[in-house]
């Protein structure tokens, strides 16, 4: 409901601190999911999500509800922060993070994997073997996403994990609609190839 | 339509956004190409698998940590660098106005002279061979002030360091030139904004 976001921003601009808290509550979960999936690092995702909200909070006076849409504005800020974060990380550091989050190993010590599974929807007829397969598939998917070049990964995550429309993604990434569409199709084709052993 | 062209339309067909003509061409090709049938089926499965990844939830501390960070941001609305820049601009603007230019110059000269004599006392009342250790080491500490200190409180700590250093003395160090001493002492009673350019 974009109208509510605009109203909350307006209220916040007029000094209603509670309006900002409500905005954060509405968007914190999708924002953290987006960042964690995009940069493949759950621990840094919270920090970057907070940084995104701080930027929004600082630029609140410049927010014009008639022009910008809160959601695309938020993803635009977050995308830029993530790109900077990835750029600032050394090659070695990134490799380390990839290993921590993505390896297909099923060691119990890997809390990241456990967390990702824990946030999955509950399954009434639980079968350990099926769960393990599903877990392997999820790890493989996250790894495959992480391996995509940034310019394909970003629109794919916005589309298939955040559920944004093509128009919204074009707004977030400041791309022409045709470019957005072809990048998402290309990203999906690349994923299909990477997931060949599983699907 | 060939296989490569068909592949280009996988997403649009999946999301039902193809125009009539392209749709016809796509479905004709798929109907007669086994390879594309297979690849399109895998494409659909893999998109579905990605979309079904679980959502990552925020930790219970997310909101409270954010509120703490926001409170800190509110307490320090402007960086020291920004204050330094605006401080300088304000000073220069004032001096540019002819009415204030003269009195401004006089004030600066008086401040410089005051600094000089203020420092003369403790330094020159000692044994004439003993001079402050300050010249280069302190200068290096003081010059980068605006970048180094995040808040205006910290220069006061530096003043403490200054006086401690000045009490120490070293034999046969040559007396530093006046502008160096001016620079050192200036920090002790001016704010960050003016010490930036000195
Ligand atoms: Zn074909």
* Ordered structural domains, chain A, with CATH: 1-90 (1.10.1740.10), 108-199 (1.10.10.10)
* Predicted local distance difference test score (pLDDT) of residue B167: 42
More confident residue, B69 or B132: B69
> Do the domain assignments include residue B117?
yes
Q: How many CB atoms lie within 10 A of CB B134?
A: 24
Are residue B160 and residue B87 in the same domain, yes or no?
A: yes
Q: Is B92 within a domain?
A: yes
pLDDT at position B11 is: 98
B10 lies in the same domain as B100: no
Give the Cα separation of A55 and B22 in Å (integer).
Answer: 44
**Better-predicted residue by pLDDT, A114 or A20:** A20
Is B108 found in the same domain as B40? no
Q: Does residue B22 sit in the same domain as residue B88?
A: no
Name the most confidently modeled range: B58-62, B73-77, B80-84, B91-95.
B58-62
Per-residue pLDDT band at A10 (split at 50, 70, 90): confident
- List CB contacts (< 8 A) between A188 and chain B: 10-11, 43, 46-47, 50
Q: Choose the closest CB to A160 out of B47, B57, B70.
A: B47
Residue B74 within any structural domain of the chain = no
CA–CA gap between residue A11 and residue A27 (Å, rounded): 17
CA dist list (Å): A67 to A56, A64, A116, B80, B131: 15, 6, 37, 33, 66
Task: Assess whether B168 and B89 both reside in one domain.
Answer: yes
Pick left, alpha or beta for residue B16 (phi over 0 → left; psi -120 to 50 → alpha; otherwise beta).
left
**Pair (B18, B112) in one structural domain:** no
Interval between CA A5 and ligand 1 midpoint (Å): 46
Q: How far apart are CA A66 and CA B28, in angstroms?
A: 45
**Within a domain: B69:** no
Tell me: pLDDT of B156 over 50. Answer: no
Say whether both B91 and B188 belong to one domain. yes
Answer whether residue B64 is part of any domain. no
Residue B57 is given by DSSP the state P
A17-39 vs A2-13: helix axis angle to the nearest 10?
A: 130
Nearest to B12 by CA among B28, B26, B1: B26
Identify whether residues B90 and B138 lie together within a single domain: yes
- Asked whether residue B127 falls in the same domain as residue B31, the answer is no
pLDDT tops 50 at residue A4:
yes
Q: Is the pLDDT of residue A40 over 60?
A: yes
pLDDT digits (tens, 9 = 90+) for B27-68: 999 999 999 999 999 999 999 999 999 999 999 999 999 999
Within-domain flag for B90 = yes
Quick check: helix, strand or coil at residue B18? coil
- Total tally of structural domains belonging to chain B: 2
pLDDT for the residue A74:
96
Residue B36 and residue B127 in one domain: no
Per-position DSSP letters for chain A, written without gaps between them: -HHHHHHHHHHHHTT-HHHHHHHHHHHHHHHHHHHHHHHT-HHHHHHHHHHHHHHHHHTGGG--TTT--HHHHHHHHHHHHHHHHHHHS-HHHHHHHHHHHH-----TT-HHHHHHHHTSPP-SS--HHHHHHHHHHHHHHHHHHHHS-HHHHHHHIIIIIT---HHHHHHHHT--HHHHHHHHHHHHHHHHHHTTTT-
Given a cut of 80, whether residue B96 has pLDDT beyond it is: no
Question: Residue B18: its pLDDT value, please?
Answer: 97
Q: Is residue B72 part of a domain?
A: no
| Residue A117 exposed, middle or buried by CB count within 10 Å (0-12, 13-18, 19+) | middle
Contact B49 A137 (CB under 8 A): yes
In what helix (H) or strand (E) does residue B161 lie, and over which residues does it extend? helix B154-167
- The DSSP H or E segment spanning B132 is strand B130-132
Pairwise CA distance, residues A42 & B97, whole Å = 56
Residue B180 lies in a domain: yes
The per-residue pLDDT for range A143-176, each reduced to its tens digit, is: 999 999 999 999 999 999 999 999 999 999 999 9
Respond yes or no on whether ipTM tops 0.85.
no
Q: Best interface-test mutation with B: which of A113, A144, A189, A190 has the largest number of B CBs within 10 A? A: A189
- The rounded Å distance from CA A170 to ligand 1 centre is 30
Q: Which domain holds residue B17?
A: 3-48
Q: Which tens digits make up the pLDDT trace of A58-70? A: 888 777 755 668 9
The per-residue pLDDT for A168 is 96
Distance of CA B134 to the CA centre of its chain: 29
Whose CA is closest to A63, among B95, A94, A178, A55?
A: A55
Closest by CA to B147, choosing from B85, B86, B88, B92, is B85
- Same domain for B113 and B15: no
* Same domain (yes/no): B15, B93: no
CA atoms of B13 and B24, how far apart (whole Å): 11
CB-CB: which of B49, B51, B56 is closest to A119? B56
pLDDT confidence band for B177 (50 / 70 / 90): very low
């Amino acid at each position: 409901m974009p109208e509510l976001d605009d109203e909350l921003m307006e209220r916040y601009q007029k000094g209603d601190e509670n309006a900002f808290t409500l905005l954060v509550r509405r968007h914190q979960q999708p924002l953290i999911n987006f960042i964690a999936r995009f940069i493949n690092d759950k621990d840094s995702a919270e920090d970057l999500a907070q940084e995104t909200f701080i930027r929004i909070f600082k630029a609140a006076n410049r927010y014009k509800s008639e022009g910008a849409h809160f959601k695309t504005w938020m993803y635009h800020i977050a995308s830029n922060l993530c790109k900077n974060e990835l750029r600032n990380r050394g090659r070695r550091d990134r490799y380390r993070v990839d290993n921590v989050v993505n390896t297909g190993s099923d060691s119990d010590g890997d809390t990241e994997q456990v967390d990702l599974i824990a946030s999955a929807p509950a399954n009434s007829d639980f079968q350990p073997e099926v769960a393990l397969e599903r877990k392997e598939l999820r790890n493989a998917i996250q790894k495959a996403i992480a391996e995509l070049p940034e310019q394909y990964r970003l629109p794919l995550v916005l589309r298939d994990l955040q559920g944004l429309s093509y128009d919204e993604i074009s707004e977030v990434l400041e791309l022409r609609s045709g470019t957005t569409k072809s990048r998402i199709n290309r990203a999906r084709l690349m994923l299909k190839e990477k997931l060949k052993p599983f699907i | 339509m060939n296989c490569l062209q068909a592949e280009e339309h996988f997403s649009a067909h999946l999301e039902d956004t193809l125009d009539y003509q392209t749709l016809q061409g796509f479905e004709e090709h798929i109907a007669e190409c086994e390879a594309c049938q297979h690849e399109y089926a895998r494409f659909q499965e893999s998109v579905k698998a990605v979309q079904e990844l679980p959502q990552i939830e925020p930790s219970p501390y997310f909101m409270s940590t954010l509120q703490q960070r926001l409170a800190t941001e509110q307490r320090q609305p402007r960086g020291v660098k920004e204050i330094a820049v605006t401080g300088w601009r304000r000073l220069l603007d004032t001096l540019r106005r002819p009415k204030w230019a003269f009195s401004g110059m006089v004030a600066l000269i008086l401040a410089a002279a005051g600094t000089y004599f203020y420092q003369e006392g403790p330094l020159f009342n000692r044994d004439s061979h003993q001079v402050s250790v300050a010249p280069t080491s302190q200068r290096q500490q003081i010059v980068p002030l605006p970048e180094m200190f995040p808040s205006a409180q910290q220069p006061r700590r530096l003043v403490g360091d200054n006086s401690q250093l000045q009490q120490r003395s070293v034999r046969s160090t040559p007396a530093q030139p006046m502008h160096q001493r001016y620079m050192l002492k200036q920090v002790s009673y001016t704010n960050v904004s003016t010490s930036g350019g000195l």
